Structure 1
Amino acid sequence: MTRSLDPRTARRRYVTVCVLFWLPAGLTIAPLILLFTERGMTIAAIASFFAAHSLTAAALELPTGGLSDVLSRRAVLAAAGLLNLTALTLQALGTTAWVLTLGMTLMGAGRALSSGPAEAWYVDTVQAHSGPSAELRTGLARGGSATDAALAIGTLLGGALPWLLGLRPDVGARLSEATSGLVLPLSVPVLMGAGIEIAFVLYVLTALREPPRARTTFRHVLRGVPATVAGGLRLGGHDALVRRVLLSAGAAGSALAAIELLTPGRAAALTGTSESGAVLFAVVACAGFTCSAVGSHLAPLTARLAGSGERAVMVSLGISTSGLLLLGATAASTGTFPMALAATGYGLVYLGFGAAGPSENDLLHRRVSASGRATALSVQSLAMQLAFAATGLIVGILPPGPLPWLLGGAALLAGALLWIHRSRPTPPTPTATPRPHTVSSSPSIVGSEPHQPDAGQ
């Protein structure tokens, strides 16, 4: 089946993939750390689990992006779903540190595999049908909105289900007794996520049609990946606009490190207990994802009002910066009014991120060809993860109060200021594509500007 899907159908299938992939992640946001604690894990051990996830994802970002470019978007996405299915099962049922570490490591590998193929498939499909100048921003915005909506719904369900089961202690006790202690109320959302991963894999294999690729061998695939990785690492050096996209992703990663590491503790301090803090955090995170979904939906309008995609990114990141500075300014304050300002700031951060993402990625996709598209997205994700890890280490040693929040705000402000200078109009992606089983030594970059990271979980 070689005829390409029409843009409307491709957009609908891309949105469905986004929902099915990110809903399980949302289900784990609220209960996961508490589940590990119930298993007897210390805070230091839990930190090591998440470090295993982050380091695995960072190490595999570029190789797996290259694998998608030389092998198949569909195959790599299905592999990501299978890894996540295994990881969630281990996290839900694991009772020892090594099992939970393995689960988080597999989750990191699945995260690396997933960062790019679905979006690359959508762009490839639309451009195959409508040409290299096809309109992309609307579809990317719908995908971002669907991702945030799935995370919001998943976060609420993940926080509410264990709490509802806790209202009936006899139900939780029977559940634990029937499974010899393997399944706790906090395990239920994680197991639900594992079930959804099965649906995700089946949908990817049946719905994401791709043009036939030349038959290749595993050796040829492995030979093509290093060349694609090397090309991905050279992206920012060859194109100033792409460099700005990557640096903006790093700035967003720094801001997210401050928010995600500091908000749970702030919620627990406000409510007085960890359990009620987890519920409050679930509500706050859901509100944040909802704001991000609204921002993504408004991204095309933002670009039209701003006059260009580049100005839209600057305005959107400026909104996020103002929100993070509000969070910092109210960090040491109590009372209804400071909390209202903090809630407003939290919403502004995610609203701006949601609006910036589609415009950033629209600019990125028009600078790279299909031969390196997934790799480019992996480089963007890698920039965000490395900045997240580095900023997280600094935030962890700073004294409580406004300073950690302001550090993230300063990084995000620097990212917004990158877009003050306006580049020349972006040329379209080239129509030429490489042989299916090989990749050029560098992804095709169209044009070179003398002047010139998407969110995930």
Structure 2
Amino acid sequence: MRQPLDPASARRRFTTVTFLLWLPVGLYLPAQVLLLTERGMSLPVIAGLYAVYSVTVCVLELPTGGLSDVVGRRPVLATGGLLTCCALVLLVLGTSLGPLSAAMVLLGAGRALSSGPAEAWYVDTVRAHPDGGGDVRTGLARAGTACAVALAAGTLAGGALPLLLGLGSDAGARLARATGGLVLPLSVPGLVGALVCAGYVVSVLAALPEPPRPPVGPRAVLRSVPATVADGLRLGAREPVVRRVLLTATAAGTALATIELLAPGRAARFTGAPESGAVLFAALACVGFLATAAGSHGAPLVARLAGGSGRAALAGLAVSGAGLLLLGVTAAWSGAAPAALAGCGYALVYAGLGAAGPNENDLLHRATDSAVRATALSLQSLALQLAGALAGLVAGALPPGPLPWLAGAAALLAGAALWSGRPDSPGPRQPAPACGKPAPAEKNPAPAAGETA
């Protein structure tokens, strides 16, 4: 069997694939609601379409994680990329509810398939190398940085492309006429995103080698995937580290949902108009992505200064909670100075989460093995999404003002408290799986100190 990739090569490939995975998301998000509105969809219909996406992701998150643990990382990632590519084409060209609903289902399925297998591949590859040393935190940090940079760059490009097509030329009008109104300027970011998705699929197939696995028939997959999911759920219930990771993911999902729901309206109130508020919020979103990138890039340094991944997770979440507190305290004030403080708080929230994430996942991977690694990551993602959905409903029901922000800050600070007084422990070290066969699940993995989404 060929020698596994060295850790540095695996880190570079994982970072590249992560960037290509998230760049299309940044590209299509700024223009998507506007495009659907241009197609004649009302806001309740658009909300329903996004609900279809969210439900699809939640339903498929655990089964697709189990599928990756059974059949391999690369085929699941490539399938997810192909579904996302098809979904984006259908989403930007669809003009009626049927095709758009199908696009959201495909988009949700692609998101679920892509959630976790690339990170699981990276950790498996590093642990399989004789000189790997088990250190995965730096690679997780670099991938987190790549994700945030891709979202920031994609958001800027996705917002600028329709504007450039509509300014100073009739390129956008010519494009619409040539396609019978099927391709509008607002469609272009999504089409570019689909091209990037195609490149992502090629990159996954070419750059993420895996040891050959024994052939698995459809009947065996149907038996193995539920068993793997059940193993992952038992691991989450049994292992303190995994449990803390899931609870921290819940706290992070609560905070992010609060910000995403309340920040656009707050920006509009500050500028005095929805249009200018949307521009301000887009700039804030870009700042948030860049702050996440900076926090993630500095995660290994934070761990060295704090004395371990668990303490680094505590520090990052505490900073994030302090940022959300600052947003809450300034919610009842008006003026430029409180707005500047709120902007600082916004950046602190994302920088803290960026620094905490790689350290939490470093500890998560110490407490899991290859047999359930992608399932554990899917559990983490599911906890974040479900908490976010519930928190959005709660934040929307609370009276306007500081209270919703302070509730989100309390959730983050409670997540930080999970890591107090818990020094790192080495955690289990698994040997490389032989011939692609997953290593058996550990009976009693040593508890470590870290977790989040």
The TM-score bracket by the shorter chain reads over 0.9
**Deviation digits for residues 61-104 of structure 1 (CA, Å, limit 9, x no counterpart):** 11000000110100000011011101111221111223222212
Shift of 1:323: 0.7
**Deviation digits for residues 122-144 of structure 1 (CA, Å, limit 9, x no counterpart):** 11111111367421111111111
Letter in structure 2 aligned against 1:447: P
Task: Confirm or deny that 1:251 pairs with 2:251.
Answer: yes
Shift of 1:281: 2.3
Distance 1:159 1:132 in 2: 41
Specify the alignment match of 2:442 in structure 1.
444
Cα contact 2:363–2:451 (8 A) shared by 1? no
Question: 1:162-173 residue pairs with structure 2 within 5 A?
Answer: 162-168=162-168, 170-173=170-173
Specify the alignment match of 2:67 in structure 1.
67
Specify the alignment match of 1:176 in structure 2.
176
TM-score (norm 2): 0.95
CA distance 1:115–1:327, change in 2 (3 Å):
same
Shift of 1:439: 8.5
Shift of 1:168: 3.6
Task: Confirm or deny that 1:303 pairs with 2:323.
Answer: no
Cα contact 2:359–2:450 (8 A) shared by 1? no
Specify the alignment match of 1:101 in structure 2.
101
CA distance 1:332–1:159, change in 2 (3 Å):
farther
Cα contact 1:64–1:113 (8 A) shared by 2? yes
Specify the alignment match of 1:158 in structure 2.
158
Shift of 1:216: 2.2
Task: Confirm or deny that 1:223 pairs with 2:223.
Answer: yes
Shift of 1:7: 0.9
Distance 1:353 1:449 in 2: 22
Distance 2:272 2:358 in 1: 39
Specify the alignment match of 1:146 in structure 2.
146
CA distance 1:169–1:260, change in 2 (3 Å):
farther
Question: 1:65-214 residue pairs with structure 2 within 5 A?
Answer: 65-130=65-130, 133-168=133-168, 170-214=170-214
SS in 2 for 1:31: helix
- Structure 2 portions without partners, runs of 5+: none
Distance 1:296 1:119 in 2: 15
Distance 2:332 2:161 in 1: 32
Cα contact 1:427–1:446 (8 A) shared by 2? no
SS in 1 for 2:431: coil
Distance 1:179 1:33 in 2: 21
Specify the alignment match of 2:370 in structure 1.
370
SS in 2 for 1:395: helix
CA distance 1:35–1:207, change in 2 (3 Å):
same
TM-score (norm 1): 0.94
Cα contact 2:6–2:132 (8 A) shared by 1? no
SS in 1 for 2:41: coil
CA distance 1:32–1:364, change in 2 (3 Å):
same
**Deviation digits for residues 165-207 of structure 1 (CA, Å, limit 9, x no counterpart):** 3324733222222221122222111111011000000111111
Cα contact 2:128–2:433 (8 A) shared by 1? no
Specify the alignment match of 1:421 in structure 2.
421
Distance 1:433 1:450 in 2: 22
Cα contact 2:317–2:415 (8 A) shared by 1? yes
CA distance 1:451–1:24, change in 2 (3 Å):
closer
**Deviation digits for residues 309-349 of structure 1 (CA, Å, limit 9, x no counterpart):** 11110010000001111112222333211111111011000
Shift of 1:448: 4.9
Distance 2:60 2:156 in 1: 30
Letter in structure 2 aligned against 1:83: L
Matched-pair identity in %: 59
Specify the alignment match of 1:358 in structure 2.
358
Cα contact 2:419–2:449 (8 A) shared by 1? no
Letter in structure 1 aligned against 2:55: L
SS in 1 for 2:129: helix
Cα contact 2:364–2:451 (8 A) shared by 1? no
Distance 1:452 1:72 in 2: 26
Letter in structure 2 aligned against 1:176: A
Specify the alignment match of 1:266 in structure 2.
266
Distance 1:338 1:237 in 2: 43
